[in-house]
Amino acid sequence: MDLRKRARKRLPNFAFEYLDGGAGGADNGIARNWGAFDAIEMIPRYGKVITPPPTDCTLFGKAYSAPVGVSPIGGPSTAFPGAERYLAAAAQTARIPYTLGVLSAITIEEAAKIAPDVLWLQLYRFAKNEHKIGMDLVKRAAAAGVNALVLTWDTPVRTTRPREVKSGIMNPFRLNNRLRLDAISSPPWLLSMMKNGIPKFVSLRPYMDGNASLAEAAAFMRREQGGAFTWDEIARYRDAWNGPLVIKGVLHPADADRAVSLGIDGLMITNHGGRQIDALPASIDALPAIAQQVDGRVTIIVDSGVRSGIDVARCLALGADAAFAGKAFLWSLGALGERGPAHMIDLLKDELSSTLGQLGCATIDELRKVKVRHPGAYTLADFVREM
């Protein structure tokens, strides 16, 4: 959270408000995510010698150095220019998953060069013309060697984030003097923009005018993209993509069950970091019922509110295979610039290892045996009438 404070001081107001703001005006969903993690207690066991435990793990048959990853972020270069490159490079060096958002300022192909071993790709729903754009993105992902495909499900309609609107950056985006002044007030942001160029959604360039301004790109997105993938569409992407397929945005055990029956490989339990609607449960509170329903058939990843290695340990103790973060990585960029993501990864890994040690676990698998008190947890019994 110190990185968050520092990022707020160093970034232009619009950049911080874009990366940090939630849905609903009071950021209740974000506070709920954090509060839910903070309320979870784990009981340590003593009596054996513990050397600093390793954090290595395997996800979808691939070895990573920790069950920690970068969640997909659309337009992260608005928050900090060059974000995609810096995040991808740090993830590759540390060998943790980096999920490129489809709305990004580098192409899938460039990301695959920077992070060949750890690149995952997130897609939104581009349903026009029989998913022409979506299916082309799947082909490009396969050709580039992307390691997992993530379909975002939890954006059925657009949302308004009051802090973004008040900062002047959204609805609609127009580069006006207020934003220019705001940018000039932040040398780190400005210098990084001079180094990396004005951010554009270049991953979508084959499908729109190569010189599209940000405003035109936003209009393109409004026209071409939207809605949540239907069950039939998920089945279609399953057929089209041979690698690991992850559905992002699952909060109901019955949805998790049905997605698993379609042959997907992973579920991301998330409330989009509190950015879509303020009334959703914290994703960590939704985890136990889903983990029980899925019963080890697919890989479970949790995000939304993860700020520390202790939070990662809480996710694993409650049945997840990995925990990802969005805002924490953007805060690290805002606070420390290019070297922020590597610092954030080190923090998460070191804290995870020391939490394992403190709890008396010699490996991450032993976290599953830890006695946990989780006051906000949904249980399967809460869903009994709907299953």
Ligand X SMILES: Cc1cc2nc3c(=O)[nH]c(=O)nc-3n(C[C@H](O)[C@H](O)[C@H](O)COP(=O)(O)O)c2cc1C
Which residue numbers are catalytic? 272
CB of 95 to ligand X, least distance (A): 20
Q: E strands along 127-216, which residues?
A: 148-152
For residue 35, report the phi and psi dihedrals to the nearest 5 degrees: -60, -40
Q: How many residues of this chain bind ligand X (CB under 6 A)? A: 25
Binder among 91, 137, 218, 306 for ligand X (CB under 6 A): 306
* Contacting range for ligand X; rule: CB under 6 A; set: 140-148, 166-174, 232-240, 297-305: 297-305
CB of 263 to ligand X, least distance (A): 21
305 binds ligand X (CB under 6 A): yes
Q: What is the dihedral angle through the alpha carbons of 263, 265, 271, 275, rounded to the nearest 10 degrees? A: -100
Q: How far is CA 174 from CA 42, 55, 167, 170, 182, in A?
A: 48, 45, 12, 8, 13
Q: DSSP string spanning 150-169?
A: EEE-S-SS----HHHHHHTS
* Contacting range for ligand X; rule: CB under 6 A; set: 9-17, 73-81, 177-185, 309-317: 73-81
| Between 19 and 361, CB nearer to ligand X | 19
269 binds ligand X (CB under 6 A): no
Burial-class residue 210 by CB neighbours within 10 Å (0-12, 13-18, 19+).
Answer: exposed
Binder among 270, 293, 299, 308 for ligand X (CB under 6 A): 270
CB of 384 to ligand X, least distance (A): 28
Binder among 327, 332, 345, 356 for ligand X (CB under 6 A): 327
Q: Do the Cβ atoms of 105 and 77 come closer than 8 Å?
A: yes
107 binds ligand X (CB under 6 A): no
CB of 247 to ligand X, least distance (A): 11
Binder among 13, 92, 107, 122 for ligand X (CB under 6 A): 122
DSSP-derived secondary structure letter, 26: S
| Between 18 and 126, CB nearer to ligand X | 18
Q: Do the Cβ atoms of 359 and 78 come closer than 8 Å?
A: no
Spatial separation of the C-alpha atoms in residues 58 and 338, rounded to whole Å: 27
Q: How many Å separate Cα 74 from the centre of its chain?
A: 10
Binder among 81, 134, 326, 334 for ligand X (CB under 6 A): 326
19 binds ligand X (CB under 6 A): yes
Positions in 143-182 near ligand X (CB under 6 A) = 152
101 binds ligand X (CB under 6 A): yes
Q: Do the Cβ atoms of 206 and 101 come closer than 8 Å?
A: no
Q: What is the dihedral angle through the alpha carbons of 206, 210, 213, 214, rounded to the nearest 10 degrees? A: 30
| Between 21 and 53, CB nearer to ligand X | 21
| Between 53 and 278, CB nearer to ligand X | 278
CB of 48 to ligand X, least distance (A): 34
For residue 69, report the phi and psi dihedrals to the nearest 5 degrees: -150, 170
Residues within the interface to ligand X (CB under 6 A) = 18-19, 33, 71-74, 79, 101, 103, 122, 152, 248, 270, 272-273, 275, 303-306, 325-328
